[in-house]
Structure 1
Amino acid sequence: MSLFAAAFAWLFDAANWAGANGIPMRTLEHLIYTVVTLIAAGIVGVALGLYIGHTGKLRGAAVLVTGSLRALPTLGLLFLFALWLGIGLTPVIIVLAVLAVPPLLAGTYSGIEAIERSTIDSARAMGMTEWQILSRVEIPLAMPLIVSGVRSAALQVIATATIAAYLPLGGLGRFVFDNLSLRRWDAVIGGAIVVTLLALIVDGLFALLERAVVSKGVRAARDRGLGEAATKRKPIAAEAA
């Protein structure tokens, strides 16, 4: 039996779907780590991204910081925080949040910077306050790119949250790391497959959300633009015929 056939046999074994160590419970733990991380990272990344995008200040520093955070070794940080704070969930959440902040920050300020300046100037000319401009104009228009940043962060966290098994905590990483030393390759590959499927499902859900948060005005303008382009193509096609 090949390794992948053994892995799928492990996946479809009913014994691996029951109890506290079963796939459903480990998946739930993995999702909890992901959600807690995204909330913690979002408080920092999205808030800073809104400030940078709205004011235009600290953009250079943000680019430098996000690039630096992406280069940090995840396992090295995990061991460092574990030695400092002790074994537990806190070091894992901090390390995963460090990984999630760059895409959240970049997606947020990029989304606001992509808005036409004439739109912002028109809002100011109407007498809107800076908070009203941010909350009623910039955030709704930037929401697709903000969700795109959350989507990227979620995928990175889901893929990296397996490191929680090093401390050891729960999550899908337990299937990988607990069985690695035992050379139970069916469970190792099976656990990796579950992580991959979870990431694909979450990515698909965020892709739908990304389309759903496009404002009605932007969607209407886009549809109108496509309609005008199609109308212009028809005479050209008729002339060519």
Structure 2
Amino acid sequence: MTAVPAEAPASSRSGARTLRRLRGSIGTPVVVAVALLADYFWVHSLQLDSIEQRTLNSDYLITKTTEHLKLTVVATVLIMVIAVPLGILISRVRARWIPPLVLGLANIGQATPAIGVLVLLTILFGPGFGIAITSLVAYSALPVLRNTLIGIQQVDRSLIEAARGMGMKPTQILLRVELPLAVPVVLAGLRTALVFCVGVATLATFVNAGGLGDIIVNGIKLDRDPVLITGSVVTASIALLVDWTGGLAERVLKPKGA
């Protein structure tokens, strides 16, 4: 008689699932840490000249990374303030031609090369931090706007009707039913916008707004590979960590049972 293998206890299965999630969630930070450490030890194994030493030091790198994060955070906050309410607003209009029109206008900002927007705005208003932020918002707002609209539109209509049957007002339905259910979709759009912002913020160097683009451009202009590679590795690491953080936020804020 063939022996039937005993089924693993529920606690064991749960522990295995938790371990798999943990391995999946720490993969990106581990890769980023390895890349940064590899770049650090490689740079410190080289005989840097005076030009490279002025750029590849902790004070300068921290300053430029802080500027880059400031550009990204400010642009992301403005995108949320503008795109989420606008997505909610156009989801409420009855005219079917308005949502495609608004999305089309937002798509123009993303379809236009970011460097072209920067140059045009600089010609009109001069260089500076505000010009860089305006370009970032114009280029990165579409994913949040589109996902807010889609997230609200895909909420099950029966849930909305049930909320109305309970006596909820339209504002209550929006805040208690539609937005909570749309959160995962909105966060996915925000995650995409954040990665866009991190990448496009490197162009802020061309309008004297700082950021890691200063390091990358210096490496190109001065033909210094350690400077160029370090700026690129740090920028890519920020983008990966931002995307990883967005993924964690999606899992944490996802409604139960969704």
Could you tell me the TM-score, scaled by structure 2's length?
Answer: 0.76
Shift of residue 8, structure 1, vs aligned partner: 6.2
Q: Does 1:26 find its partner at 2:64?
A: yes
Partner of 2:226: helix, strand, or coil? helix
**How far does the alpha carbon of each residue in 1:56-82 deviate from its partner, in whole angstroms, 9 at most, with x for none?**
552221332233222112111101111
Give the alignment partner of residue 201 of structure 2, picking from 161, 164, 174: 161
Matching of residue 49 in structure 1 with residue 87 in structure 2: yes
8 A contact 1:108–1:145 mirrored in 2: yes
Q: What corresponds to 2:42 in structure 1?
A: 9
Residues in 1 aligned to 2:204 and 2:143: alpha-carbon distance in whole angstroms: 21
* Superposition CA RMSD, Å: 2.2
1:65 and 2:105 are equivalent in the alignment: yes
The verdict on how the C-alpha distance between 1:203 and 1:11 changes in structure 2, with shifts beyond 3 A counting, is farther
| CA distance in structure 2 between the aligned counterparts of 1:6 and 1:42, rounded to whole angstroms | 34
Letter in 1 for 2:84: V
Q: For residue 28 of structure 1, what is the amino acid of its counterpart? A: T
Amino acid at match of 1:30: H
Unaligned runs of 5+ in 1: 220-241
The aligned runs of 1:56-95 (5 Å cut-off) are 57=95, 58-95=98-135
Identity %: 32
Query: For residues 56 and 98 of structure 1, what CA distance do their matches in structure 2 show?
Result: 26
So what's the TM-score if we normalise by structure 1? Answer: 0.81
Match of 2:235 among 195, 199, 204: 195
Correspondence for 2:78: 40
Instruction: Name the amino acid aligned to 2:69.
Output: L
SS in 2 for 1:192: helix
Offset of residue 189 of structure 1: 1.9
Residue 129 of structure 1: aligned partner: 169
What per-residue deviation string (whole Å, max 9, x for no partner) do you get for residues 124-167 of structure 1? 12221111111111111100111111100000000110011112
CA contact (8 A) 1:180 1:188 kept: yes
> 1:10 offset after TM fit, Å?
2.8
Q: Secondary structure at the match of 1:212?
A: helix
Q: Give, in angstroms, the shift of residue 11 of structure 1.
A: 7.5
- Which residue identity lines up with residue 95 of structure 1 in the other structure? S
